[in-house]
Amino acid sequence: MEINVELLLGTKVCDIDGEDVGRIEELRVERDGQSCLVEAYFIGASAVIQRLSAWTLVRPIRGILSTRRLYSAYQVPWQDMDLSDPRHPRLRIAKRDLRHAK
Amino acid sequence: MKKVLAITLGIVTSVGGFLEIGSVTTAVQAGAAFGYQLLWAILLGTACLVFLVEMSGRFSAVSRHTIVDATRERFGFPFFAIVMVGVVLVFFMVLVAELGGIGLSLQILTGIGFPWWAVPVSFVVWFLMWKGTFGLIENGASILGLVTISFVVAAVKLNPDWGAAAHGLLPGMPGTDKAKYGFLAVSILGASISPHLMYFYSSGAIEDEWDKSYIPVNRFIATLGMTFGGVLSMAALVAAALTFQPNGVEVDTFEQSALLMTTALPKWGFFLFAASMLFTCLGAALETSLAIAYFFAQGFGWSWSEDLTPSKNARFCFVYTIIILLAAVPLLMGIDPIKVTLMSMALTAATLPLAVAPFLFLMNDPIYLGEHRNGWISNTVVAITILISFVLALIAIPLQILGG
Amino acid sequence: MDLVRDVMDQKLLDREDCEMGRVDGLVMEVGEHSQPRITHIQIGGTTPWMRLHPAFARLSARLAQMWGPKRKEPVRIPWSRVMTVGRDIKLDVRVRETGAIDWEIWIARHIIERIPGGGHVEEG
Amino acid sequence: MWIKRLLGLSLIFATACKPPTPAEQMESALSWIGTAGMAGKAWLRHTTPDTYTRQTLELSHDKLGQLADELLKSPPPGADSESLNSVLARSRKRIARLEALITAKNVRGFARELDALRADQRLVKRMSDRMEPNE
């Protein structure tokens, strides 16, 4: 099945229990010779910071952004993402089992 | 040698982008109505501009990308589209105002009304873009623009009270007419911090093939060029304060502004003013049309360069051709260029956050700039400029709605 | 490599460093159990407008039918043609063969060349 | 809180668009008489083209006419509206005559008329200053 990546960005993701996880903001890919494989999806607000390459800007004011929520991103390996309905992506696991991105 | 000549980019940016119908009109109005009291607004606008222009140049020299390129690349197409709508609309109005300024200068020189000049003037501007190279536009406009030094000569000859002028560099509140004072302050800032200038300068650095070795040159050019524009604009304000205030004249029209230097330089004052406005508005018209064409071409990834023959970058040339053609229409219908000018400045102020906010991100981007990222001083200045521009936007938008 | 930061919206250059436009969209192939992979880069047409709103995409499609080179689908470049991803993205193609600059050529032929001094686009 | 203050501030600026008060109209009238005076003075020094000077005088003449009409409808409080109207009408006539004198190239007549206009300007200025405290 073909999916347009640009339209996938910003769509909300639910976990296996239907709980809201966040929005897809970035895709980590690996170039392997001629092909380009998707390794992981990044979900959450600070994935946007990563995408804007704005860490140097945000790091000094890290203290102010004390709320963990604003400051966190989940890294979802490709195996854990179910994109069979691209408009409503679902995780194959529960939110509590997700790994925080560094 | 090439680096020495690079100064012309600074001067053309300054003459065409800073000193144009908008800043002269507001400076003269401010001087006539409030004496030296609004000098601080020009100083503040110039200071912000020096930093923003320096950043635009540094960004291009280091990353080999323009600010527009990077805005699209970092923020994606949807955000870019929003900026595009706002910015292109405002630039278009500025272009109408500049073409009108050329028309008005020719009107006071010949007595033939400005609507008659709309078509010939637009044609000349288009032709210069069509046939000319970037270097020609750059050098031509900066040399012709030097005529504006007459503003400084006029101001000095009128023996200003330097102490009072220095006092005007600090913001204060006037006793009466607070509303008009505020409106003029907003317009002066809108006229000074004009985004088309940063886009133009950033593209110019690519056209002139700057690299990292230009960083010190760029700093020098941005500071000198924009200060040059700021000083000229302050001189216009001072001359207006000393010429119009004693006669009780409030300047509302171009015909009145034309009397700016007739007292200080009796013999040539009138013609120097007309020539100054003619050349600076011509420079600004070229700069604004180029800025619009650059904006589209860079945002959509078309080939662009003012130096290639038109068929080599057809879409780029097509954009400025259409824009210049459209800009002649309101003038043909006789819409007062001064009204367009005042409106475009308030709108510039209103759209400023859109144009300046990306700077904060781009100038701190390690991928584009590496070790040449902004330091805390530059970041503070950008943050303050964004803050000022938000306040300006909040003030300017209701003003527009209520038809001020 | 981060797809959105490093690839999406970057400028595309062909073998001879001619501008081809920007990465307006990326096509991903997702299987039931296989690892998803990026198959194509999409340029122009309705692609960028779709990112704003489907209504803009419909509008741009309708306008493109009335005027211009009348190309129906956005240009697709297979990912295997990507040579380098860096400051810009370099592709192992010739721009004229891809259709990415159909508009550029159309405007050059129909408008710019007809104005004196516009020059000529060389064939090929 | 600061948003409220900002909105208040912008409202103050927005009131810049309200119809001008009679005092402001007086200032505008003075401004246009002053403009005609400056344009005339510059012409006397042979430094401005005839057409420009005529056009500027005509503009001042028209603007002054509009202002005089409005001041007649709503006269400024504390001013002698009859003498105000007569001095404004006289200034307008003088400006019109200046225009004609340019066409006739009558420099001496022009200088005399210009002096008279300046005297009228001082008169209007005095009237305007006198009504200031009532504002």
A54 interfacial to chain C (CB closer than 8 Å): no
Evaluate if residue B295 carries a pLDDT over 60: yes
Integer Cα distance of B347 and B343 in angstroms: 6
Measured between beta carbons, which residues in chain D are less than 8 angstroms from residue B267?
Answer: 45, 47
Query: How would residue B162 be classed by pLDDT, with cut points 50, 70 and 90?
Result: very high
Query: Which candidate from B249, B266, B394 shows the least CB-CB separation from D10?
Result: B394
Indicate the DSSP class of residue C90: E
Classify domain A5-100 by CATH architecture.
Roll (2.30)
A57 interfacial to chain B (CB closer than 8 Å): yes
User: Phi-psi category of C18—alpha, beta or left, where left has phi over 0 and alpha has psi -120 to 50?
Assistant: beta
Contact B48, B356 (CB under 8 A): no
Kindly list the partner chains of chain A, i.e. chains with 3 or more CB atom pairs below 8 Å. Answer: B, C
Evaluate if residue B310 carries a pLDDT over 90: no
Extents of the domains making up chain D: 22-134
pLDDT in tens, B8-46: 666 666 665 678 888 999 999 999 999 999 999 999 999
Q: Which CATH number fits domain B2-401: 3.30.70.141, 1.20.1740.10, 3.40.309.10, 1.10.1200.10?
A: 1.20.1740.10
Quick check: B182 and D47 CB within 8 A?
no
Query: How would residue B343 be classed by pLDDT, with cut points 50, 70 and 90?
Result: confident
- At residue C123, the pLDDT reads 46
pLDDT in tens, B214-229: 999 899 888 888 898 8
Indicate the DSSP class of residue A61: G
Measured between beta carbons, which residues in chain D are less than 8 angstroms from residue B253?
Answer: 59
- At residue B6, the pLDDT reads 67
Helix (H) or strand (E) holding C84, with range, is strand C82-85
Which of C14, C56, C107, C113 best probes binding to B when mutated, by most B CB atoms within 10 angstroms?
A: C107
Strand pairing report for C89-91 and C11-13: parallel
Instruction: For chains B and D, count residue pairs whose Cβ atoms are closer than 8 Å.
Output: 109
- In angstroms, the separation between the Cα of residue C87 and the nearest Cα of chain B is 8
Measured between beta carbons, which residues in chain B are less than 8 angstroms from residue A53?
Answer: 74, 365-368
Fold of D22-134: Four Helix Bundle (Hemerythrin (Met), subunit A) (1.20.120)
- At residue C83, the pLDDT reads 93
pLDDT in tens, B232-249: 999 999 999 999 999 999
Nearest to C102, CA basis, from D21, B302, B83: B302
Ordered domains of chain C (ranges, CATH): 3-114 (2.30.30.240)
pLDDT in tens, B53-90: 999 999 999 999 999 999 999 999 999 999 999 999 99
Query: Which candidate from A6, A9, A53 shows the least CB-CB separation from B74?
Result: A53
Contact partners, residue C24, CB within 8 Å, separation at least 6:
A6, B77, C9, C42, C43, C44, C47, C48, C51, C74
- At residue B42, the pLDDT reads 95
A8 interfacial to chain C (CB closer than 8 Å): yes
pLDDT along chain A (102 residues), means of 10: 92 90 92 89 84 77 59 84 90 86 66
B388 interfacial to chain D (CB closer than 8 Å): no
- In angstroms, the separation between the Cα of residue C33 and the nearest Cα of chain B is 30
* Helix, strand, or coil (residue C83): strand
pLDDT in tens, C32-82: 888 999 999 999 989 999 999 999 999 999 998 888 888 778 999 999 999
